[in-house]
Amino acid sequence: MLSHLSIRQFALVEQLELEFQHGMVVITGETGAGKSILLDALGLALGNRAEAGFVRQGAERAEVTATFQLTQAARQWLQDKELLEDHPTEEQQDVLLRRIVSNEGRSRAYINGHTCTLNELRQLAECLIDIHAQHAHQRLLQPDTARQLLDNFAGLNEMRQQVSQHFRLWQRTEQTLRQLREHSAENEAQKQLLSYQVEELRELALGEHELEELEREHKRLAGAETVLLSGQQGLVLCLGDEHSDTSAVQLAWQAIQQLQALDDEHPDLNDAKELLQQGHIQLEEAGLSLQRYLEQVDINPHRLQQVEGRLSELFSMARKHHTTPQSLYDHWQQLEQQLADISLSDDDLELLQQQAVELQQQYQQQAELLSQQRQAAAQQLDQQVAEQLQVLALGQVVLQTGITSAKAASHGIDTVELYVQTNPGMPMGPLAKVASGGELARISLAIQVVTAQSNDIGCIIFDEVDVGIGGGTAERVGRLMRTLGDQTQVMCVTHQPQVAAQAHQHFQVSKISGDQATHTHIRQLNDQQRCEEVARMLGGIDITRQTLAHAQEMLKLAH
């Protein structure tokens, strides 16, 4: 679950610290108060795209830190990435996701204080939180959504990935076969050319990082004389030699002797004496350090000649192959691969054909097993969604997950589509063509609740998914979310008082405009404040005693 959210200099928020509890959490406020800012800030911590406009005007950067209690999936992900900070006496329970955005739009991401990529941040976020946006029900009308929902519900994602892997191997082999058959007439001439090119590159025996190492060595050897000459001159100036008594060390020592010759009646000179003594010591240490370095400088004309000869050889070969010296090694490897591909004999081709058949059989076996699992899970999904539709006053609606055979693909051999019967006696029809907008929204919510219960997710966010409903239906939606909140943390942005009344924890978002700036303020409401906020949502501009009484009754019934 999301336990803490820290927001600094983000949009209209100057500084905010929020503590969240388990259960159902609602966020309410006037239209335009800035409820979206809270989700935008959380989205930033979860890896969403950063924008310079996120930074509060006048600030250098925005910073958002989200603290989550670990799910099992998140703990495993952190362990795989070696980011789990287990303590000697207790197991780590939380993970911190942090994002910083500059006013120029650049951003940095951290997991438990370690820098990470946005892709890693998003991967971890998928193990921690599930966000259902305002128009999520429209996704039900998109191709493949029904299949994804079914696989998520049944926990079949890993099996589908295995099917996808078998499909890719099979298709890759088939593609290789097609290419070999198409180019068999051209293969022999091309093979001779490749053989010649590969052979001379093999004789060159270029190491993968040899060019970089040779260039570094050449730079060191070529500049050794200059380094040695300048270093020796610096050493004489610092420490002197048998022909010089005016080195920096000697001059510093003479200055010290001159000042020490003065009596103690000049205490103001003590700082100068101390600095000279420190300088004398540092000059000696610098000279010794320089002397040690110069002893390691290697002047080796023979080795320099060898390096230059090898570099000339590499540059010449690169020109011959119309590539750069830096790309010569990769070019060699590509030619080796091309030669290996083209060198397949008739026996190899037959072997590859047999391999393609075996891969197809393996794919078909896995895909059929996946299809069987989907068939079994579809009945369970339909049954559980029906129970939730009953709660949402759609008891007459029947949802059916239809599975039909399809052409082999990376996701399997099934087409999954949702069918619905909105009234008894009516025929089943595709969800997109039969359900009304209001029915579609509630069907989507029922599916989201069912699939959320089957996932190891610690926090589920519903962003105004109750738009377009009201009255008793809104109350049923609120009760459903509260029930779901008994199992996992549910956060809901809502305009419905019936939904807000069901919450375990209630936050209000408001916008405060001053002479110089506008701030978005978010506060947790106590019982009295909750009553006033629900009354506001019920009554409009003027809140009457009757409205307050109604709000109090709603809260009492909810709890």
C-alpha of 223 from chain center: 46
Sole residue written with tokens 């590509």 = 334
pLDDT at residue 139 is higher than 90: no
Looking at residue 447, its pLDDT comes to 84
Q: Is 212 exposed, middle or buried (0-12, 13-18, 19+ CB in 10 A)?
A: exposed
Q: Please state, in angstroms and rounded to a whole number, the distance separating the CA atoms of residues 225 and 229.
A: 6
Question: H or E segment at 417?
Answer: strand 412-421
Query: Average of pLDDT values for 366-394?
Result: 92
pLDDT at residue 87 is higher than 60: no
Query: Average of pLDDT values for 387-407?
Result: 88
Query: Average of pLDDT values for 78-105?
Result: 81
Of 285 and 541, the structure prediction assigns the larger pLDDT to 285
Query: Average of pLDDT values for 528-548?
Result: 88
| Ordered alpha helix ranges (H), 406-493 | 431-434, 437-453, 471-485
pLDDT level of residue 457 (50, 70, 90 thresholds): confident
CB proximity list for 320: less than 8 A, separation 6 or greater: none
Looking at residue 95, its pLDDT comes to 93
Query: Nearest-CA neighbor of 232 among 296, 297, 291, 292?
Result: 291
Share of the chain above pLDDT 90, in %: 40
**For residue 255, which phi and psi values (nearest 5 degrees)?**
-65, -40
Of 296 and 30, the structure prediction assigns the larger pLDDT to 30
Three-state secondary structure call for residue 66: strand
Q: pLDDT for 162-202, tens place per residue?
A: 999 999 999 999 998 888 777 666 677 788 889 999 999 99
Most confident stretch, 151-155, 240-244, 454-458: 151-155
Q: Which long-range contacts (CB under 8 A, 24 or more apart) does 241-250 make?
A: 248/283, 249/280, 249/283, 249/284, 249/287
Looking at residue 89, its pLDDT comes to 47
Q: What is the pTM of this model?
A: 0.60
pLDDT at residue 52 is higher than 60: yes
Asked if residue 477 lies in contact with residue 392, where contact means CB atoms within 8 angstroms, the answer is yes
> What is the layout of strands, in order, in the sheet containing 13-19?
13-19, 2-10, 61-69, 94-102, 107-111, 114-116
Which whole-number Å values give the CA distances from 5 to 111, 169, 203, 491, 529, in the listed order? 14, 44, 62, 13, 22
Looking at residue 271, its pLDDT comes to 82
pLDDT level of residue 124 (50, 70, 90 thresholds): very high
CA dihedral angle for residue 8, residue 14, residue 20, residue 25, rounded to 10 degrees: -130
**Domain map of the chain by residue range?**
1-129+504-522, 188-342
Query: Nearest-CA neighbor of 94 among 126, 128, 117, 135?
Result: 128
Asked if residue 434 lies in contact with residue 443, where contact means CB atoms within 8 angstroms, the answer is no
Q: pLDDT for 294-336, tens place per residue?
A: 677 667 778 878 888 999 999 999 999 999 999 999 999 999 9
How many CA atoms lie within 13 Å of 310's alpha carbon, on the beta-carbon side?
A: 19
pLDDT at residue 356 is higher than 90: yes
pLDDT at residue 229 is higher than 80: no
Q: pLDDT for 486-523, tens place per residue?
A: 888 999 999 899 999 999 999 999 888 876 778 888 99
How many CA atoms lie within 13 Å of 172's alpha carbon, on the beta-carbon side?
A: 6
Dihedral sign from CA coordinates of 109, 111, 117, 123: negative
Alpha-carbon Rg for the chain, nearest whole angstrom, is: 36
pLDDT at residue 429 is higher than 80: yes
| Residue 191 tokens, joined | 């093979």
Which whole-number Å values give the CA distances from 188 to 58, 343, 347, 457, in the listed order? 69, 9, 16, 58
| Residue 305 tokens, joined | 């000649």
Number of Cβ within 10 Å of residue 555's Cβ equals 20
Query: Average of pLDDT values for 134-154?
Result: 77
Q: Which long-range contacts (CB under 8 A, 24 or more apart) does 77-83 make?
A: 77/123, 77/124, 77/127, 78/111, 78/112, 78/124, 81/111, 81/120, 83/111, 83/112, 83/114, 83/116
Most confident stretch, 138-147, 226-235, 509-518: 509-518
DSSP state for residue 22 in the 8-state scheme = S
CATH number of the 1-129+504-522 domain: 3.40.50.300
Looking at residue 255, its pLDDT comes to 83
Of 322 and 141, the structure prediction assigns the larger pLDDT to 322
Of 393 and 466, the structure prediction assigns the larger pLDDT to 393
pLDDT at residue 88 is higher than 60: no
Query: Nearest-CA neighbor of 16 among 8, 27, 28, 25?
Result: 8
Looking at residue 31, its pLDDT comes to 78
